[in-house]
Structure formats: C-alpha cells, structure tokens
Chain A
C-alpha cells in the first residue's frame, strides 16, 4: 500500500518584491486509492502545493517533508519524481513545438516505466484512451498542446494520467475552463484511471462543480497556506452554500 505524506511543509517563492512565504506548515496524508479534494479561495496556496509536489524550480521548500512510501521527494529532480510515481495534471499545460503527441506519450511512457512499451498493445491502448476521452485521432500527430483549446489540453492531461499510470496524481484545477460536457468526459477519465490503477488523487479546485462527478473521500479547506478544516464530502456541500468567507475572516482576524 503506497502512501504520500506531506509533513509540516513550508514553501516560499522568489518574487520581485523579495522572498514570499506561501505554505505555512501543510500536513496531509494520502493513501493509495483515496481521493482528497483541496478546496480554497484564490491565492491560498493550492497551486503552490501542487507544483511543489511536482518539483517546479520556482518554489523553495524551506522546511518539512514530502515522503512517498517513506522516501524523501523534495530532494529528487522533477523527472525522478515522475518516475517514482507522481503525476501533476497542470492547469495551464504548455505547448511543445516539434513534438507530436504520439512521440511524446511513447517517450514519457518509456521514461516512467524504464522500458519502451510493447508497440502493438501500446498503440491500441493510446487509441482506446483517446477514444474514451473523445479526442479525435488527428490529435496523435499534432504537436503537444499546440493549437489545442482549453478543453483539449485538459483531456490531453487526463490521457497522460491514464497511460502513464502513476501511483499518485495531483490535479491542479483540472475543472477550470471546462464546459459541463468536457467536465464529464474529463471526470470519467479520472474515475477510470482510479478504477484501473487504484491510484491516490489530490484534487485541487476552487469550485465544488467537479466533485459532483468525482466523489472525494476527504475534503480539505485550504486557507492562507495551510489546511484550515478537514472533513468528508459533506464539507464540500457546506462550502457550496457558504463559500470561503468564514475562513477568510478568521484568517484576517488572526
């Protein structure tokens, strides 16, 4: 049973105005097969948490730990983390000129598995996943994210999630900018990936919308760089009704 532990994590970022503390001691444990939703207002540090787990060079871990099955993740390079089984579905996936989706997927699969996937089954696997995500076949020969619409980029992220089969995935506002049809397709993909691989999920979102299609086991309210409240799915319903004001006023008063 795999486990991803985030222990008293403090993270800062360099800005033009100097060093800015963003995460002030985050504690979170995700077991394989669990879905955790992290909800919070804009600027609360949700995305920072996502990118810190993935190892984006912009963020500095000042103290604390991220452990994957007891192994320290924060000292690993970005690609080492991915090969160890971590995945980040990005909010704004970048375009990669000159690299087709096919070529990219095969290279990434080879990198994460350590061996090239067997050609025949791999091609079929890619085709099936694309079909289920309602991605046209022509996507395979297009350059990664180049000229993709917002919804197409998100589907491409979930395609990778399904094919690379990570142990833990962080979905950073995967729901943002999606219409309801695209949201359903993307959610189905996430649920399918979980069913097939039993991965653990950290779902970062501003809205409760996606939680109608992906049911979380735990909901964490993220305010001012730390977790302010935890609960089950019912907490999401409450946030839907009340919003984040309650937490924010508390944060200000403090």
Chain B
C-alpha cells in the first residue's frame, strides 16, 4: 500500500479571513521522492546556493540569514552553564568522536555549514536507570554567526529529562544529534527564549533504539527567526516517540518547525502534537509534519497533528502534514491540522460574561497551549513555562 496526503491550512490576512484550503490526496500530485531519499551531506560545498525555492526553504525568510547558509561561521566553543547531576556528563569532544554522524546528516546548506564549521562538539552523556533532570543553558552566544554541534547520548536503560535552555542574542546554525540506546527513556526539551533579534536554525536528528522512548519538546517563545527541525528515526523494534511543540509568535517573528518521523522498525509508535499561537502584525509560523512508515515498519502506530490559534489580524500560519506509507500492515496512521481564530465575537462573548478583554485573551491562549505544557513531565519547568506564556500575553497586548 502506498498513500500520500498533503494538507495545507493557511490563515493569513484580513482579505482571506475564514478561507482555508484542504486537499487530501490532491489529484495529479506526484511525490518527487520519498522523504528518506532526500540528498544529505555533511559537507557544505555539496549544496548549491540557497534560493528559497527548495522544499526545505520555501517557507523561510532565507534572505535574512545568508550569513548562516553561505558565510563563514565561528565554530569555536561557547559558554555553557549546567549544574552537575549524577549520571550526566557535559563535555566538549573532538570531531573524531565516534557518535558524530550516527543519528543523521544535513539535508540543507545551513545545517551542512554548521557541520563543516564546528571545532568541538558539546556532548551530553546520560547513564543510570534512576530518574534525573538537568538543564543546560546557553546564554552568551553573541551576535556573530556561529556553527555548533551537540551530541546527546542516552545509554541503554538510562532515564532523564534534559532541558536545553537558550536565551540572549544569537545568530546560530547547528545540529543536535540524539542517540537513544536500548530501553533508554529520555525527554529532551529545547527551549527557545532568545532575545528579540536572535536567529536560530537547528536540526535535531534522533535515532531511537529497541524499546527506547524519546519525548521531544520544542518550546519557542523568543527570537526573531527560529527554525527547529526535529527528525526522528525509530530504528529499533518497539521504539516510541512523542514529539510535542509549543510556539507563540509575536509581531514580526518567524517561528518554524519541520518535523520528520521515520518509522524504520516494526511495532514502533509516534505521536506528534504541535500547537501555536500567533499575535500581531507579521507574526508568522510554519509547521511541516512528515511521517514516513517504511517497508520494515509493520505494526506502526502513528498520529500527527498541528493546531494554530490566530489571535489578531495580520498573521500567517502554514500547516502542512504529509504522510507516506510503504507497508499496509500497520496499526494506525493519521493526521490533523486546524487553524482557528480568536475573533471579535469570541471576545464579545467572554466579555459579556464579565471577563475583561485582557483576561479573555489570556484565558483562551492559556487553555490552548497548556495541553502541551502539561505533558512535559517536569513540574518546575511546567510552572516556569506557564509563567512565560503569561508574560508573553501581558507584554504584547495587541493594538
């Protein structure tokens, strides 16, 4: 069995209020290639100049970060803050480290540019079966263009919650490899609370061993252009991944995520849930969700969904789920996408019950996004994120 589905939902401008496009199995659509057949290379010279017409770039403001796609990058070490936790080592390793390249390879030029440029990789190695939580913070990357590489390895049977916290200024392109050994249970939370001018392009490549479980959470609140592309390969039988995302785009912000789940082993399971809110002139979000259920992935159970909440005029949310199935012997595969507005009638309804305008807006966004926050599994972080969302809503009350 083979099936391809494309679904696009855009809710852009005043002129297009209420118009959504939905086409499932669009007539005449022929996939150029399967998702896993995309060209990859760790060498930046193998990629031509970025035009913005490439599949991976067509919804990104490529002109605004040519320094990251084509310029020379600073690949040196940078300050990293973390409190030492038993069972977790954080260290810089050389390019010869055997883990480098084991979870994936660049599909586009910015990613390859970073790969070609980094001098040492930051390696976070997790071992031990007891539950633990560690936060690794990057807050001083500076405003010059940088390339970086991070290895996250969860040894077999290990268990941890790892929070990657990003704040301050940055012009960064990077690759993050996440390697889960057999039966490892790892949560990775990538938290983008950058300063207003930051540009961050990151590719997370994960490979998940037999019976291992990765919960991957992308939270993007701050930054000018933030593109987080998680790509997860379910390599071992019975492997499991939950990919969660939460983003809140304000005026002028471009927040993008291209998610790829590759079911490459039998009885693997994946769930993808991304939710975003948009508010203010020029707030822009992109979500592309690709799921590939390969020939060897019998018994796959997969579902992906994206929800966007549009709070004001002048925003645009693109939402494109794609599902590719190469075996008929699966448990389930589905996708959903919806982009809805918080409009004047909703506001009127809530106000007519005594709720102030500000509170009404907060109520709606809080309810909408908390579904993701509640699934992170770290009470301290959950509380902090609720507060961060609250702050977003307070500081950027739209005109």
Contacts and interface: CB of A to CB of B under 8 A. Distances in A.
Name the interface size band of chain B. Answer: 20 to 34
A221 interface: no
Interface stretch (B2-10, B99-107, B121-129, B354-362): B354-362
Interface in A64-113: 77-79, 81-83, 87-88, 90, 93-100, 103-104, 107-108, 111-112
B54 interface: no
A103 B353 contact: no
Given A97-B340, A97-B342, A107-B359, A88 B364 contact: no
Contacts of B37: none
A93 B357 CA distance: 18
B367 interface: yes
B303 interface: no
A57 interface: yes
A16 to B, nearest CB: 15
A90 B350 CA distance: 12
B323 interface: no
A82 B363 contact: no
B351 A98 contact: no
Name the interface size band of chain A. Answer: 20 to 34
A107 B349 contact: no
B346 interface: yes
Contacts of A98: 309, 364-369, 371
Given A100-B367, A104-B363, A82 B349 contact: no
Given A57-B344, A78-B348, A97-B340, A160 B364 contact: no
A54 interface: yes
B367 A82 contact: no
Q: Is the interface of B mostly helix, strand, loop or mixed?
A: helix
Contacts of A56: 348
Contact of B364 (A55, A82, A90, A97): A97
Given A98-B309, A98-B368, A99-B364, A88 B352 contact: yes
Nearest to B365: A98
Interface in A120-163: 143, 160
B345 interface: yes
Nearest to B366: A98
Interface of B: 309, 340, 342, 344-346, 348-357, 359, 363-369, 371
26 contacts: A55-B351, A79-B353, A79-B354, A79-B355, A79-B356, A90-B352, A95-B346, A96-B346, A96-B349, A97-B340, A98-B364, A98-B365, A98-B366, A98-B368, A98-B369, A98-B371, A99-B363, A100-B367, A104-B353, A107-B363, A108-B350, A108-B354, A111-B356, A143-B367, A160-B353, A164-B354
Interface of A: 54-57, 77-79, 81-83, 87-88, 90, 93-100, 103-104, 107-108, 111-112, 143, 160, 164
